[in-house]
Chains A and B, each alone.
Chain A
Amino acid sequence: MATPATRRPLGAIPALLLVAIAIWEIAATRCQATSVPGDDAWIEASKIVRTHHQPGDLIVFAPAWIDPVGRLHLGDLIPVETAARMDAAKYGRIWELSIRDAVAPDVLGMTATKTYPGPVDVRFYQRRPVTVITELISYAPAAGRLDLVEVGFEPHRCLVVPVSPARPYLRDLFAQLDRLPDQARAKLIRAFAQLLPELPAAAAMPAADRDGKWIAIHMTLGSNLAGAFGIADIFTRRDERRDIGLVVEIDGKQVLETVAPIDRWVPFETPTSPGDHQVRIRLRWKANPGETTGVKTVCVNAEARR
């Protein structure tokens, strides 16, 4: 059987369109597949950066997916600590190497001081950096460990804090249980565990952490406190998907409250008065009755800025 075809010119429009699409696809496939600059272009761009680079400069790549190639060519100029930065505010000199007209998040809204166009565009940005007086991780409080972890699919060097769930519905029960002698308390917890399987784990937590994990430090502050936090570990994020909340108190007064959803590195900032202060940061998430869930691994950092 043969397909009857149209003899009307108008009827041939979709047919011609199909041929045009096919011809375009043949050409576009080759063009697009070869549209990413190769190593020669990166070597040229790297030469520009290496000529003008100064210690402490930040080098970023755009789009994010080309980052491995950028590090291949300039990784020796990027310390691990810089790659795993909290944010870019303390960098006054930034080199951006970009392809496909992409812009790195670290320089969004900034105007390049110098531009070196090419297959790999090199843009240099200069600005007044913030001065960091001190940062949370330098205090290394007992609340967690200093580590480089993945948060929001980015590297971050931070204080890594295990945070068990808050269970406010157990508050009254604990008020009664905590008055009892240890042996009687343990017996009752075992008995109640039949009804509330989460009770033994909740009872084993320090009383101070039952309504969230507190990080308390004496910190020298400047004109503001800037930080960021998020949930580390892709697999615990998959299995336990609730947000993590953060509260900042300075000298006993709450100055900030925010939340970080899974897969996000969330910045926070609050004005402060210069001087020594008691800073408390609470990380908190809530579980429901009957849930025997694990802990969230939270990555947090903060800088006191002049």
Chain B
Amino acid sequence: MKQRTVGWILALVTVVLVVANQQQVGLARDELVYMASGDKYAKWWRGALLGGDATTRDKITKSWGGPAPTDNNREHPPLIKTLSGFSRLILSDGLGVDETTAYRFPSALLHGVLVLLVFLMVLELWGFAEAVMSALLVMLLPRAVFHAGLACFDAPIMTLWFATVYAYWRAIDGRKWPWQVGIVFGLALATKHNALLLPIALGLHYLVAGIRQAGTGFLAYRWRVIVSMLILAPLTFIALWPWLWFDTLDHVADWLTFHLTHVHYNFEYLGDNWNAPAFPWHVALITTLFTVPVATLAASVIGTCTWIVQRARFDGRMPGLLLLLSAATSIGPFLLGSTPIFGAEKHWMPALPSLCIAAGVGAVWAARAIGALIPAGGSSASTIRRAIAGTACTVVVLAALVETITAQPYALTWYNAAAGEAPGGADRGMNRQFWGVAARGVLPVLEADASASKTPVYTHDAAPAWGTYLRRGELPSTMPDAGHEETGITNSQYALVIHERHFNRHDYLVWKLYGTVQPMFVLRTHGVPIVSLYKRPRPRPTAEKP
């Protein structure tokens, strides 16, 4: 079997892992918006490609834009939404795969691509063992597995970011037509606005590598790469986003302004609720230390040292510096104290491939170092060394695997063993969750308690998902969403409260309006409460009967 085939197998396993895992994950508030937009985008493309009049300004606006900043979700680039829309058309409408899985499949597939790209880069740089380890450690990032299973952009941008870094690294080998880097960077831009930071990493690397290779003539060092990124990337980006086909500068400005002036959502960190700058400078560092398996972190430290010591083995393309700059650029803005911190690690996940590559290198170095303790001589010494080294690598992978299994399906509540897992995260006042995903866990309890009469539910942060849950039959139709805030609670027979610190007020509204502080059920992950479900003590009389 060729070594590269192993990379493909690992990618396939990753896709299967993510697709299987997301079956247990509830619907996230934001992904419902992206799913709806994806349907529109895919429908529009189908119309346009079949030769209709879809490309008129009015038709484009109807599907892709509008006067308000969030019309048709025009505040986010379209690539993943479009892929989700097509995936639904093909996998769900065409092949009968369940709708949610179909929407989420492109993100899962891209996660497999990430594992493959990491494998291929490390294979070229270090060797087979390091490539396998790096790929496995990327695959077994608990929070990343969770995010890759959503029809959102956070895992895909990690893939497209790294794909751009990898394509750039290959492109600066002196090839004549480095078109790939421009195209891939365009795809990254069409995925999420994080991609706008990539030129910082690549530019700095080009500067250092160029000066080292060409001195004062550094600009001409690999000038075709620059041209590719300056021309092909914007063309790809614009081609994929019809909203930019007219009033391009205005629409790009709108997109950027939305993110530069983004509201600060509430986020709990080390016991405090944060919703305005200045944020602690260490949020990104501590959160990363608490959300990546400890063994992976430790291996990355060893790997970084190994890389520095053995840097002479690499050519002038300086891959170590490139990966370092990639990670630093991704995470750097979150050290400023002014960049919104809500969403935590999902916003700087593009830093993780670099970390896992270092970890793969470190783990293999460590395994060999332990194996080398066996004295040479005898025919079995080499076999024993290999067995010991293999065992050492397996233990590191097992640690990541155990963390990944433990984290699901409520991975946003999970923290690593150094933090004390979910209970330790709660003790330390780390963010409990977001997006209302956990609400799905109380649906079986509600269903079991359902009666024939209509019993509306105050659905809190799960309100956007409620219609889908009802449509999928996870709840009886007698349990519709009761509405928002006090009016919703007043109209409800059941109320659920998703536990985030700033959502405590919803508990208190329920207490006040139900006259009790006692929930009927508390959903927990590893003992940590994530959703409380209340039942009105005395049912309000209802005029309507089913």
Contacts and interface: CB of A to CB of B under 8 A. Distances in A.
A67 B507 CA distance: 11
B126 A3 contact: yes
A69 B531 CA distance: 10
B392 A29 contact: no
Given A68-B522, A69-B522, 10 more contacts: A12-B370, A16-B370, A19-B370, A21-B294, A63-B426, A66-B529, A68-B499, A72-B521, A78-B517, A149-B505
Contacts of A147: 512
Nearest to B519: A72
A18 interface: yes
Nearest to B297: A21
Interface string A1-21: 111111101011011111101
A241 B299 contact: no
Contacts of B305: 14
A3 B310 contact: yes
A76 interface: yes
Interface in A47-80: 63, 65-69, 71-72, 75-76, 78, 80
B403 A29 contact: yes
Contact of B298 (A5, A9, A17): A17
Contacts of A80: 511-512, 515-517
Contacts of A76: 516, 518
Interface stretch (B225-233, B344-352, B356-364): B356-364
Interface string A147-172: 11110011100000000000000000
A102 to B, nearest CB: 8
B519 A68 contact: yes
Interface of A: 1-7, 9, 11-12, 14-19, 21-26, 28-30, 32-38, 63, 65-69, 71-72, 75-76, 78, 80, 83-84, 100, 102, 147-150, 153-155, 233-234, 238, 241, 263
B273 A33 contact: no
Given A3-B127, A17-B298, A32 B519 contact: no
Interface centre among B125, B273, B417, B420, by most chain A C-beta atoms within 10 angstroms, is: B417
Given A12-B372, A263-B273, A19 B392 contact: yes
Contacts of B59: none
Interface stretch (B103-111, B279-287, B393-401, B465-473): B393-401
Given A1-B127, A32-B423, A148-B511, A25 B294 contact: yes
B369 A12 contact: yes
Contact of B518 (A25, A72, A149): A72
B402 interface: yes
Interface in B261-294: 264, 266, 272-273, 275-276, 293-294
B427 interface: yes
Contacts of B427: 63, 65, 100, 102
B417 A25 contact: yes
Interface string B411-435: 0000011001111101100000000
A6 B372 contact: yes
Given A37-B527, A71-B517, A5 B372 contact: yes
25 contacts: A3-B127, A3-B368, A5-B368, A5-B372, A12-B372, A15-B302, A15-B367, A17-B298, A19-B395, A19-B396, A22-B396, A22-B399, A25-B403, A28-B417, A34-B527, A35-B421, A36-B524, A65-B426, A68-B519, A68-B522, A68-B529, A153-B501, A155-B507, A234-B275, A234-B502
Interface in B11-36: none
